[in-house]
Amino acid sequence: MASFKQGDVIKVPFPYTDRSTRQSRPALVVSAGDLEDAHGLLWVVMITSAANRGWAGDVVVSNLATAGLPVESVIRTAKIATIEASDAEKLGKLSAAQFRQVSARLGQLLKIDSLVG
């Protein structure tokens, strides 16, 4: 099994809240390795095309090549999911600075001071 880290950009079958289907799409790993090691799970937030209507809290992906993304994209921090790590395929990685931006936004949404230790 692959081992994923916070900040990894992966491709996963992301669940939707408004329908019973899943679509394979990019997502950002926000969980630490302990969750994967203990349960084979990852907490991820959705990544979507920047061409879609923006939501409050979206974070623009600044380096598409490093993230492994083909088009301008945003991290949709309001859409978080738990997925099986075995369903994930690594595409790339966010920079540490960019992950701190996402972490800060998630901390605001979850009412947590910081998710990065």
For 5-33, what is each residue's pLDDT tens digit?
Answer: 999 999 998 776 565 666 789 999 999 87
CATH no. for residue 49?
A: 2.30.30.110
Structural domain count of the chain = 1
On whether residue 95 sits in a domain, the answer given is yes
Is residue 1 in some structural domain? no
Which DSSP category does 86 fall into? G
CA dist., res. 77 & res. 44, Å (int): 9
pLDDT 10s per residue in the chain (117 long)? 569 999 999 999 877 656 566 678 999 999 987 999 999 999 999 999 999 899 998 999 999 999 999 999 999 999 999 999 999 999 999 999 999 999 999 988 888 765 555
In contact, 28 and 59? CB cutoff 8 Å: no
- pLDDT of 103 reads 93
State which residues form the domain around 103. Answer: 8-110
**Is residue 45 one of the residues assigned to a domain?**
yes
Give domain status of residue 35, yes or no.
yes
Dihedrals phi, psi of 30, to nearest 5 degrees:
-115, -10
Q: How is residue 32 written in tokens?
A: 């630490």
Residue 3 located in a structural domain: no
